[in-house]
């Protein structure tokens, strides 16, 4: 449905990731090869970290391929950690508040995929959002709802646990409401220090996700590429689909995995959804109260 | 905060109400005289009825004064019942889903004013929305929430009762949460046959609202005005502020009133908010369950 | 580059041509089959005639496939003659003034294709525009320039002659400036009574163009199609590419042809570009004066 | 008509000039005090210099006061020289290509005011633009035309002379075409090293223009203002109208003056328009050839 990329490493002009590559994210906005749709023209977003307390976010409803302002920004802003997303809407409005990345304090969140049966589940998912966070929901999308659900479940203290519990909550609710294969997709989230990425779907057949090979290996393979000389050894890109055709440059993230990169971490782990079933108060279900975990 | 107008009568080109008058709604978008803000430049909307089963709605985030498409539409579309609104946003995003009029089936809804303390009340108001209507909420505004609350309380069968109960619900919830003067404003709603308008505020000091004098009287007063010759005897405009300076042409709607116009009705009535206090289940309040009226 | 359609016949809701067909123009905005580009997402436009002295024009920079307002308009406006265009920009900005159809008084103009070497030729083409028309040029495109060139050469009195001379002018100028294959494309223009369409390219290999078969034949072939029962016998659609897959429903316009439909005319003619070479003042060329025909 | 500001000095977050001040440019977009219009809501632009070869330009058609992206950019981008402009359109379309600042290579250009009788003069002004620059004209405005005229007359080598000759050209052409008071306004232009500002009108009654007092003086007057401690001694703001009410902080630029700031220059000079009358080839006028200076 959408395509995204996330970068951490030595500061680079954002255009080096967004525009320069042969099959860049901007090119993917018009001609995606691996996505569910070839066109991702329903808005876009860019989030970047600098020395400010919160990341900058630039979002627009125009197709990324013809947004002059994105082109300008990408040519003038350097960042050591940034996220970009091109959107293919499925039902919800094309408006900035539906564009990724979503932001809460220092956190950014992007998603490619969907919650199946979202209209059926939306209200109960909204009720599970922490009441102090609820007024911050600005758009209509399943992706933003997931973000706030993950925040509710502790994203800021343990991202992998929180995403696991958020998706577990979605799956449990879907089971009770008779919705099959409720979650599909890939997720990236960051606090400005690290990036956590997830590839998961309830049906076990997830949207694609790739990370770039180790920069030292890439330099060895492609000594003529100037940009590789400029990148730090720990630079890493995670992308919905490869932004170039260099053999050996990209590695697929396995099904049901999550990764952590940045500030010395560079790990790929199995990702397990945390079913809330055992801890739910069944009484709460009966009375229509929010599906909130007990002792969570 | 905003300015609006609603018309019913013989079919006219929409521009006759929207552009032609000296102090037209388009002029009010730039230079409101009686509004809380002089500029109403944060988007606009137009809803019009024709022979189709649902009304057409045209909404845009541009200021009305420089929207070329609105100008074209108004010059080419005739309607016997239409609503137009220019917005001055207070906090929520400038996006089409936040622009009035809002639509549900044959119903349109516009509001000038606000729910005080909306961030505090928003979640509990959302919970009071009928679960089948909940997924239709597309934007972030207090005005749209009120629409769905009124629909929940029976707008389609008894508009005055439903608006009274919706505002009563808001006031009761506000009282429990310690929010003063929770509702302010004027409302227009229509099913394509009639228009219901409301002027009310919890503090008893409401936004302005006017209706045009009887067309026969106006013709007598201003025989040289061509447009008055073309209008049917029952034509009526209701406006946030007069769109011209003709003495005797406009009558203020009294505080705490509602009016009904169209299809042979032409009434002005006292408007009474229906407090839900006596029918609330206090237990529901304690457990965090939705504030829904019992036996409602 | 772009896709367009033009309709004349009994009044229909615009959506019947724009949205309802299987491979409608809206679908072509996302998935063109025969165009130079599959995506035509850089704005769109709709022009329609009614009883007003000038046609209405609705243009937007959003992709047609997700423009809610176009969807509304098409569902509520009926017209007996209308034009619609989805754009794939090649270099010029995505802005309303670059969207087709262009309008001058009662005339509309759409183009799919390009003037090759336009930056080289632009200034001299602009100088050839009638001085009283020059200030009306609102955008940057070759297509709009052609429109004003055709107006300069008498579009309003003899459309086929004027387009022939306009393209002849372009070709002659291109020859002098060393630009090969200067014109490519299809054109539609209307005064609200008739539609003139053109298929031509300097290289003799033009963008596709089709017209719908005679309505009586179509009714015979497809008696179950309700819309065909509602159309008048003289209804005709001209399209960049067929909007459906009905065998026998579409006929290709031959290379280097023009057609006239509406108000009793229904003709297909060879189209000949009128070279201005013999009438140019060579001296004018030398001094840099406008390339205007003498005695034209 | 419009409001603008230009800054040079030690690098600051752009928001310090654009948002933080009490009567900031963003506030002026909604409530200008000294402008011809109180509302400047027809788009805006920001141009800023950094280490890149050309300045960044961010322009939008939304009112500046509700553009979320401008807010983000201003909170995250630091610059030692930047220009910002809020627009009140007079006739031309609200589109990015009509928003200031305009850019050519390293040069930016902003204007507040107008060319009187522009529709009458436009074609002949366009003909005076250097033929190699002509295809770069992207919008419709008098302001952009002036920029290209100044470039034609040597802006890049001698800005004061070039602006003087450009305005002289406008005035001479206007005289011949019977247009009174042809130029009105203030101009700012920069190459990234310095900023040149102009206040001039043919009638001798120009739009307002102010520059900030010497930073050392301001620090002495307002020792409690933190931002003044951070600015370099040579920091200078030039504004259409003061962005705050500090007594003694702003000095009006006199009628018919120009100023130069940046890189060690800090001058205010009389500004004299250079009439081209004596150098025109009258024969060229007769034949309709461009009004280009001879020997220029």
Please answer whether residues D109 and D57 qualify as being in contact, where contact means their C-beta atoms are separated by less than 8 angstroms: no
Which chain B residue lies closest to A142 (C-alpha atoms)? B135
**pLDDT over 80 at B283, yes or no:** no
Say yes or no to pLDDT of C60 above 80: yes
- Whether the predicted model's global pTM rises above the 0.95 cut: no
When CB atoms are compared, the residue of C93, C135, C138 closest to D138 is C93
How high is the pLDDT of residue C1? 61
The distance of Cα C107 from the centroid of its chain, to the nearest Å, equals 11
* Tens-place pLDDT, residues A231-277: 999 999 999 999 888 888 899 999 999 999 999 899 999 999 998 75
Please give the ipTM for the structure prediction.
0.90
Q: Mutation test of the interface with chain D: which of A45, A54, A72, A80, choosing the one with the most D Cβ atoms within 10 A? A: A72
The H or E element that residue A8 is part of is strand A3-13
Closest CB to D140: pick one of C118, C131, C138. Answer: C138
Question: Per residue in A56-98, pLDDT tens?
Answer: 999 999 999 989 999 999 999 999 999 999 998 878 899 999 9
State the pLDDT confidence band at A144, using cuts at 50, 70 and 90. very high
C268 has a pLDDT exceeding 50 = yes
Chain A: give the shortest CA distance to residue D92, in Å.
20
Whether C281 shows a pLDDT value over 50: the answer reads no
Asked if C259 and C269 count as a contact pair (C-beta separation under 8 A), the reply is yes
Give C56's contacts in chain B (Cβ within 8 Å): 72-73, 75-76
What is d(CA D30, CA D38) in angstroms, rounded to the nearest whole number? 7
Which chain B residues are closer than 8 Å to C96 by Cβ? 68
Q: Which helix (H) or strand (E) holds B147?
A: helix B142-152
Q: Which of D169, D89, D186 has the alpha carbon at shortest distance from D125?
A: D169
pLDDT at C10 over 70: yes
Q: Work out the average pLDDT over D270-291.
A: 58
Least CB–CB distance from A66: residue in C38, C42, C68: C42
Name the token pair of C192: 């609200």
For residues A286-294, average pLDDT:
41
Query: In the structure encoding, which two tokens stand for residue C135, read together?
Result: 């200030």
Chain B residues lying within 8 Å of A173, measured CB to CB:
none
C77 touches B: beta carbon within 8 Å: yes
CA distances from residue A150 to A124, A169, C188, D271 in whole angstroms, order as listed: 15, 10, 54, 62
Query: Looking at the predicted structure, is the pLDDT value of residue C292 above 70?
Result: no
CB contact under 8 A, B72 and C60: no
Query: Looking at residue D91, what is its pLDDT?
Result: 80
How far from B50 is each of B58, B84, B190, C16, D138, CA to CA, in Å? 14, 15, 13, 17, 41
Question: What is the band of A133 on the pLDDT scale with cuts at 50, 70, 90?
Answer: very high
Mean pLDDT, rounded, for A149-169: 97
Give C128-145 pLDDT, tens digit per residue.
999 999 999 999 999 999
Q: Which residues of C touch B139 (CB under 8 A)?
A: none
C61 touches chain B (CB under 8 A): no
Tell me, yes or no, if A43 comes closer than 8 A to chain C by beta carbon. no
D197 in Cβ contact with D209 (< 8 Å): yes
**B283 lies within 8 A of chain A by CB:** no
- Contact B126/A126, CB-based, under 8 Å? yes
Q: Looking at the predicted structure, is the pLDDT value of residue A284 above 70?
A: no
Please tell me chain C's helix, strand, coil percentages from 3-state DSSP, rounded to the nearest 5. Answer: 30, 25, 45
Q: What is the pLDDT of residue A1?
A: 61
Q: Which residues contact D67 (CB under 8 A, 6 or more apart)?
A: D44, D60
Nearest to D76 among A50, A60, A75 (CB): A50
| Minimum-distance CB partner of B75 among C56, C72, C77 | C56
Q: Tens digit of pLDDT for each residue in C239-265?
A: 999 988 888 889 999 999 999 999 989
Q: Name the average pLDDT for chain D.
A: 90
For residue D255, pLDDT over 70 is answered with: yes
- Of A198-202, B147-151, C262-266, the range with the lowest mean pLDDT is C262-266
pLDDT digits (tens, 9 = 90+) for B158-197: 999 999 999 999 999 999 999 999 999 999 999 999 999 9
Instruction: Give the model's confidence band at D148: pLDDT under 50 very low, under 70 low, under 90 confident, else very high.
Output: very high
Q: Is C147 within 8 Å of C102 (Cβ atoms)?
A: yes
The nearest CA of chain C is from the CA of A264 a distance in Å of 42
Q: Are strands A257-262 and A195-201 parallel, antiparallel or unpaired?
A: antiparallel
Of B56, B76, B96, the CB nearest to C52: B76
Give C243 to chain A, closest Cα distance, Å.
20
Contacts of D275 (CB under 8 A, 6+ apart): D168, D171, D172
User: Residue C296: its pLDDT value, please?
Assistant: 32
Cα angle B277, B283, B286 (rounded to 5 degrees) comes to 100
| Sign of the dihedral defined by the CA atoms of residues C72, C77, C78, C83, in that order | negative
CB contact under 8 A, B69 and C59: yes
C-chain CB neighbours of A43 within 8 Å are none
Of the candidates D157, D237, D232, the one whose C-alpha atom is nearest the C-alpha of residue D191 is D157
Closest CA to B198 of B36, B1, B4: B4
Residue D62, chain B, CB below 8 Å: the answer is yes
Q: What is the largest CA-CA distance in chain A?
A: 66
Among all residues of chain D, which has the CA nearest to that of C126?
A: D123
Question: Is C25 a residue whose pLDDT tops 80?
Answer: yes
| Weakest mean pLDDT among A278-287, B70-79, C160-169, C223-232 | A278-287
pLDDT of residue A282: 39
Average pLDDT over residues B47-72: 95
> Considering only alpha carbons, which residue of chain D is nearest residue A69?
D58
pLDDT digits (tens, 9 = 90+) for D47-95: 999 999 999 999 999 999 989 999 999 999 999 999 999 999 878 899 9
Whole-number Å distance between alpha carbons of D275 and D272: 9
Asked if the Cβ–Cβ distance from D30 to B42 is below 8 Å, we say: no
- Give the 3-state secondary structure of residue A107: strand
- List of chain B residues whose C-beta atoms are within 8 Å of the C-beta of residue C60: 69
Query: Which of C226, C213, C188, C189 is CA-nearest to residue C12?
Result: C226
Band of residue A13 on the pLDDT scale cut at 50, 70, 90: very high
Going by pLDDT thresholds of 50, 70 and 90, the confidence category of residue C147 is very high
3-state secondary structure chain D: CEEEEEEEEEEEECHHHHCCCCCCHHHHHHHCCCCCCCCCCCCEEEEECCCCCCCEEEEECCCHHHCHHHHHHHHHCEEEEEEEEEECCCCCCCCHHHCCCEEECCEEEEEEEEECCHHHHHHHHHHHCCCCCHHHCCCCCHHHHHHHHHHHCCCCCCHHHHHHHHHHHHHHHHHHHCCCCCEEEEEEEECCCCEEEEEEECCCCCCCCEEECCHHHHHHHCCCCHHHHHCCCCCEEEECCCCCCCCCCEEECCCCEEEEEECCEEEEEECCCCCCHHHCCHHHHHHCCCCCCCCC
| H-only helix segments in chain A | 15-18, 25-31, 68-76, 118-128, 142-152, 159-177, 215-221, 226-230, 282-287
- What are the tokens at C18? 């724009």
- ∠A262-A265-A271 over CA atoms, to 5°? 105
Q: Which chains touch D (3 or more CB pairs under 8 A)?
A: A, B, C
Chain A positions touching D66 (Cβ under 8 A) are: none
Per-residue confidence (pLDDT) for residue B158, from 0 to 100: 97
Residues of B whose CB is below 8 A from A148: none
pLDDT value at residue D280:
46
Q: At what angle do helices A142-152 and A159-177 cross, to 10 degrees?
A: 120
Contact C76 B77 (CB under 8 A): yes
Distance CA C83, CA C4 (A): 7
Q: Quick check: B94 and B43 in contact, CB under 8 A?
A: yes
Find the angle CA(C186)-CA(C189)-CA(C195) to the nearest 5 degrees: 105
Residue with tokens 């609710």: A173
Q: What share of chain B has pLDDT > 90, as a percent?
A: 72
Q: Which two tokens stand for residue C134?
A: 């020059």
């Amino acid at each position: 449905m959408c395509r995204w990329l996330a970068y951490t490493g030595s500061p680079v002009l954002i255009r080096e990731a967004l525009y320069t590559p042969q099959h860049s994210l901007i090119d993917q906005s018009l001609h995606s090869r691996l996505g569910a749709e070839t066109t991702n023209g329903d808005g876009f977003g860019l989030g970047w970290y600098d020395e400010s307390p919160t990341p900058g976010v630039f979002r627009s409803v125009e197709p990324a391929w013809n947004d002059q302002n994105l082109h300008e920004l990408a040519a003038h802003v350097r960042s050591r950690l940034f996220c970009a997303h091109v959107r293919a809407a499925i039902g919800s409005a094309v408006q900035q508040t539906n564009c990724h990345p979503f932001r809460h304090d220092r956190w950014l969140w992007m998603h490619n995929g969907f919650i199946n049966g979202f209209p059926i589940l939306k209200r109960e998912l909204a009720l599970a959002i922490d009441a102090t966070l609820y007024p911050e929901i600005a758009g209509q999308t399943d992706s933003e709802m997931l973000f706030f659900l993950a925040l509710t479940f502790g994203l800021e203290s343990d991202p992998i646990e929180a995403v696991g519990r958020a998706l577990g909550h979605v799956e449990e609710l879907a089971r009770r409401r008779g919705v099959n294969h409720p979650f599909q997709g890939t997720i990236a989230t960051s606090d400005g220090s690290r990036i956590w990425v997830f590839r998961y779907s309830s049906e076990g057949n997830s949207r694609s996700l790739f990370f770039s090979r180790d920069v030292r290996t890439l330099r060895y393979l492609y000594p003529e590429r100037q940009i590789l000389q400029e990148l730090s050894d720990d630079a890493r890109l995670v992308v919905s689909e490869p932004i170039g055709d260099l053999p050996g440059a990209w590695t697929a993230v396995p099904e049901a995995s999550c990764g952590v990169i940045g500030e010395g971490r560079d790990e790929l782990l199995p990702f397990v959804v945390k079913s809330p079933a055992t801890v739910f108060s069944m009484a709460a279900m009966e009375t229509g109260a929010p599906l909130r975990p007990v002792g969570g």
